[in-house]
Amino acid sequence: YAPGESPREPFKIESITSEQFAAAKYDLQFFIRKVFVAGQPMVVGGAQKSMKTGVATDAMLSLGTGTPFLGEFYVPE
């Protein structure tokens, strides 16, 4: 810890049962409908030279302009 910094609480994982998981309602907010969920990690993966950078660039441009991602997926304004 840095001088004057207090120790942090240890990381804890709160688990639930599969029954609790199935009974719960999880509302998802999408940045790009059916593609990019708000507040969740996103990975763009694929083989070498498979247009990963182009797809990621199109996603960012779509988010910035409110135009459909890849001309197909709705982007909320």
Beta bridge partners of 30: 37
Residue 52 contacts residue 46 (beta carbons within 8 Å): yes
Please state, in angstroms and as integers, the Cα–Cα distance from residue 58 to each residue in 7, 24, 55, 76, following that order.
Answer: 42, 34, 5, 15
Mean pLDDT, residues 54-63: 96
Residue 23 CA: distances (Å) to CA of 29, 61, 63, 66, 68: 19, 37, 33, 34, 33
pTM: 0.66
**Other beta carbons less than 10 A from residue 70's beta carbon:** 12
The per-residue pLDDT for 47 is 97
